[in-house]
Amino acid sequence: MRTSWLQQRNRVHNQIRDLLETVNIKLSSVASDLMGVTGRGILKAIVEGVESAERLSWKARGRLRKKEAELGESLRGDCSEFFRQTLEMHLKYYEFLTAQVADLEDRIRQKMTPYQAQVALLKTIPGVDEVVAWSLLAEMGADMSVFPTAAHVSSWAGLCPGENEPRPHGGAPAGSSGAVGILGFVGIGGGPIRIGERPHRTAQAKARPTSKIPCARTAKSRAPTT
């Protein structure tokens, strides 16, 4: 459910960005986080009827204050009443989804109270935060004694030792597809260079596109077993 809501929120984020571009507002070209503190402040001011690009740029916070002039240039658009109403609806939906995700995470955190020791151990893996630890526990369970070795865990997750690339013809490995996705994210995006560069090394050696499989297996093998 949490993943579904985050995906919906992502779509709304993209819809807001595309909507701004229809009136020639290029906020996302200056602000790396469109829905950050500065972005939300500017968007709410637009909804409230502020038209001056200079006044809108005064909403800049943090490092964006150094780009106030550039920010002002990106906000010179032609905002109609219909545009403001549409933007307001998108913002309300985005905030609703954000609140839903936060509420759900609070509920999950309460349910995970008995497993705080396991969560703390999983967070020692490079790239694993609290939410990833919850997901791994949901996929693998809290009792690691059922897996004699790390290789058995990898095999159960469909990440058999030595398998450095996805199966041919799109065949899915037997095991937990959820665990593969989570660990692939950890290995490529969340881990240190020594994990994250593994798919590139594999690709260079085989002259094939990069693969998340070796990274996922590396992250899996580092999961604490106690």
Percentage of the residues of the chain whose pLDDT score is greater than 70:
69
CB burial of residue 44 (10 Å; 0-12, 13-18, 19+)? middle
Write the pLDDT tens digit of every residue in 27-78.
999 998 999 999 999 999 999 999 899 999 999 998 888 988 999 999 998 8
Query: Considering only 12-21, 53-62, 97-106, 197-206, which range has the smallest mean pLDDT?
Result: 197-206
Please tell me the distance from the alpha carbon of residue 179 to that of residue 105, in angstroms, as a whole number.
19
Write the pLDDT tens digit of every residue in 180-219.
556 555 554 444 434 444 444 444 444 444 444 445 545 5
DSSP letter (8 states) at residue 167? P
Residue 2 is encoded by which pair of tokens?
């949490």
